[in-house]
Amino acid sequence: MKKILSVLCIGILSVGILGGCNSNTKSLNEISKLDSELVSTKEELMNSNAQINKLNSELNDANKKIKELEKKIIEGNVAKSDKFDETEQVLNIVTMNSDYERLTEGELITTGLLVEDNIKMILSIISVKYYKNHILELSDIETINGKKIAVINLVGDNYWFGKMQGTTGGSMITYTLRENILQREYKGDWIDGVKFLVDGKQFEEMQHAAELSKSTFR
């Protein structure tokens, strides 16, 4: 009888031990799964933080640019001639014939260009149309006594001085250069005057093109 009881006790203990082992294994699996989920959550959180940091950096850069623009406006560094104009700009291309008659030979129609860009386009057109593609360049737009003056440089003095010979030649080149830049009929934002240089130097007064040696206003 004692022998039978001993066997039963051993069996009960074995079942208990095996049951405990299975329970421990299950718990370890659950812990391992939770650890994996925790690692995954941490990675997602790190990625989210990286994206947030990137967005914050971009926002800071944008705010800096806004502040810089505001500062320029406050300090008056944005000149009137640099303002963006969304209206259609119609600019006349004109010249004078040998009878001293004004000829309108075309229109330059632009939208949203700055004054200086429109002047550069006009110079390019009249260079090709009247002066065999010889260089006319906008050197600067000066502000003198509140007036904006376009400074136009004629490159290649031999060619330009040759075009100014004779009363008719001098009058034609003076009118064509001066009037195309001044655009007297244009009512939008524009320069107030123009002066000319030759090869970057002060224009010497010539008998037949004396007006080109001084500033002319609209």
61-99, pLDDT tens digit by residue? 777 777 777 676 666 654 554 555 567 899 999 999 999
> Could you give the CA distance from residue 180 to residue 186 in angstroms, rounded to a whole number?
11
Dump pLDDT digits (tens) for 117-169: 999 999 999 999 999 999 999 999 999 999 999 999 999 989 998 888 888 88
The angle that helices 167-182 and 115-130 make with each other, rounded to 10 degrees, is 150
State whether 63 and 86 are in the same domain. Answer: no
Residues 11 and 119 in one domain: no
Count of beta carbons in the 10 Å neighbourhood of residue 105: 13
Of 78, 109, 138, which one is at a domain's C-terminal end?
78
Q: How many domains does the chain have?
A: 2
Task: Tell whether 128 and 46 lie within a shared domain.
Answer: no
In this prediction, residues 45-62 reach a mean pLDDT of 76
Question: 126 and 193, same structural domain?
Answer: yes
Same domain, 63 and 109: no
d(CA 211, CA 178): 9
Same domain, yes or no, for 169 and 183?
yes
pLDDT for 6 equals 53
Q: Which of 78, 111, 134 is the last residue of a domain?
A: 78
Reported confidence tier of residue 43, pLDDT bands at 50, 70, 90: confident
Quote the domain boundaries for residue 192: 81-217
Where is average pLDDT lowest: 9-18, 22-31, 43-52, 202-211? 9-18
- Residues 62 and 89 grouped into a single domain: no
Strand partners, 147: 144
pLDDT(26) > 80: no
17 and 111 fall within a common domain: no
Nearest to 120 by CA among 33, 62, 110: 110
| pLDDT attached to residue 64 | 79
If one counts every other C-beta atom within 10 angstroms of the C-beta of residue 190, the result is: 20
Question: Rounded to an integer, what distance in angstroms lies between the CA atom of residue 146 and that of residue 184?
Answer: 18
Q: Return the structure tokens found at 112.
A: 């949203």
Check residues 142 and 50 and name the one with the higher pLDDT.
142
Cβ atoms 194, 149 nearer than 8 A: yes
Say whether both 133 and 105 belong to one domain.
yes
Whether residue 70 is found in the same domain as residue 86 = no
- Distance, in Å, from the CA atom of 74 to the CA atom of 79, rounded to the nearest integer, reads 12
What is d(CA 12, CA 4) in angstroms, rounded to the nearest whole number? 13
Residue ending a domain, among 29, 58, 78, is 78
Q: Supply the DSSP symbol for 3.
A: H
40: left (phi over 0), alpha (psi -120 to 50) or beta: alpha
Domain identity same for 87 and 110: yes
Lowest mean pLDDT among 32-36, 91-95, 182-186, 212-216: 32-36
My answer on whether 132 and 201 are in the same domain is: yes
